Amino acid sequence: MPWRVGPAQRRDGQQPDPYKIWLSEVMLQQTTVAAVKAYFLRFISLWPTVTALAAAKDGDVMAAWAGLGYYARARNLLKCARAVVTDHHGVFPTSREALLSLPGIGPYTASAIASIAFDQPETVVDGNVERVMARLYDIHTPLPSAKPELTRQATGLTPNKRPGDYAQAVMDLGATLCTPRSPACGVCPWHSPCVARRNGTQAQLPKKTPKKPKPIRYGIAYIARRADGAYLLERRPDKGLLGGMLGWPGSDWRSDWSDAPIERAPFVAEWTTIATEARHTFTHFHLRLLVKTALVPNGCQTACGSFLPAKDFRRSDLPTVMRKAFDLTQSP
């Protein structure tokens, strides 16, 4: 992983960069390592230091984040970088308590930075660690209720010596051997002390409280293209879902088609409805969008958003759901 510094590198004098650790941990929240690597490398290329990131334009950072999801993280990324520069002279604080005072840094991220970047003996508990602890101690309390118990067990194992290496090792153990399905118990370094393995319950753990079915919301997206190729886009409000991102003008997202989305076309035009819906799943609901398109003359005026010239339009700058809507307009 490009943000890591292993024991051998440490012996050669290389130390973890707290900026890279922080950036990777924010990106990895509810996202896979495979999905994050390319984004991480791009961010480091564009903004190699926290000072550089703090000076970046909001729109540039949101565009670079597009497709990674959970866009509040990108907004908090900028707030945190600017707080580090303004309040801490561009240097990340070393203690968990001080890290918690920064925007967007919660208990897990603070512990991870303190442990991995500064070798503080803080307990780092992500989903992989929860699974390892549940099996190691044969804990059958379902998640999320089991979190305090799992954290207590993890705290009891956290060493004072090389806690950062230990934290990463346990996370890797969960990611590579103590996997959700078919854990590789035969080659696990904790094979002997694992209580669930001895009791034959490892495949059942961790137990989870059943999730409620996700509701469905419905909406309309309007994709207008001028004769010169410019697209009508608007930047969503900073607060709320997809906050600060570019997107297509559209209706509110309603809970039922019987409570039909209100037509909010940006202007009067010959709007054509695409037969296929754009569908996307967010954390708490599924979204189904009707996509309406229109070709308009160059002099078209609108109070909703602005036309982006064709040379400046990049599909990659859009969040995933907006890309899906756009892709429907490109289908034959």
Q: Catalytic site residue 122?
A: no
CB atoms within 10 A of CB 278: 23
Q: Determine the Cα angle at 269 with ends 263 and 272, to 5°.
A: 75
Q: What pLDDT, on the 0 to 100 scale, is given for residue 332? A: 64
Given 25, 122, 130, 277, the catalytic residue: 25
Per-residue pLDDT at 261 exceeds 60: no
CATH number at residue 22: 1.10.340.30
* Residues 89, 109 within the same domain: yes
Position with higher pLDDT, 330 vs 6: 330
Which of 78, 95, 122 is the last residue before a domain boundary? Answer: 122
* Residues 154, 101 within the same domain: no
What's the number of domains the chain is made of?
3
Q: What pLDDT, on the 0 to 100 scale, is given for residue 316? A: 86
Q: What pLDDT, on the 0 to 100 scale, is given for residue 260? A: 58
Which of 210, 240, 274 is the last residue before a domain boundary? Answer: 210
Task: Give the containing element (helix H, strand E) for 293.
Answer: strand 286-296
Q: Is 308 helix (H, G, I), strand (E, B) or coil?
A: strand
Q: What are the tens digits of pLDDT across the range 36-69?
A: 999 999 999 999 999 999 999 998 998 899 888 8
Position with higher pLDDT, 42 vs 262: 42
CATH number at residue 242: 3.90.79.10
| Contact call for residues 29 and 107 (beta carbons, < 8 A) | no
Q: What pLDDT, on the 0 to 100 scale, is given for residue 221? A: 94
* Residues 325, 276 within the same domain: yes
* Residues 204, 318 within the same domain: no
Q: What pLDDT, on the 0 to 100 scale, is given for residue 237? A: 82
| Contact call for residues 164 and 15 (beta carbons, < 8 A) | no
Position with higher pLDDT, 106 vs 260: 106
Range 232-245 average pLDDT:
85
Which of 122, 143, 178 is the last residue before a domain boundary? Answer: 122
* Residues 118, 2 within the same domain: yes
Q: Could you say which DSSP state residue 289 is in? A: E
Structural domain containing residue 96: 1-122
Position with higher pLDDT, 222 vs 332: 222
**Dihedral angle computed from the Cα positions of residues 130, 131, 133 and 138, in that order, rounded to the nearest 10 degrees:** 130
CATH number at residue 168: 1.10.1670.10
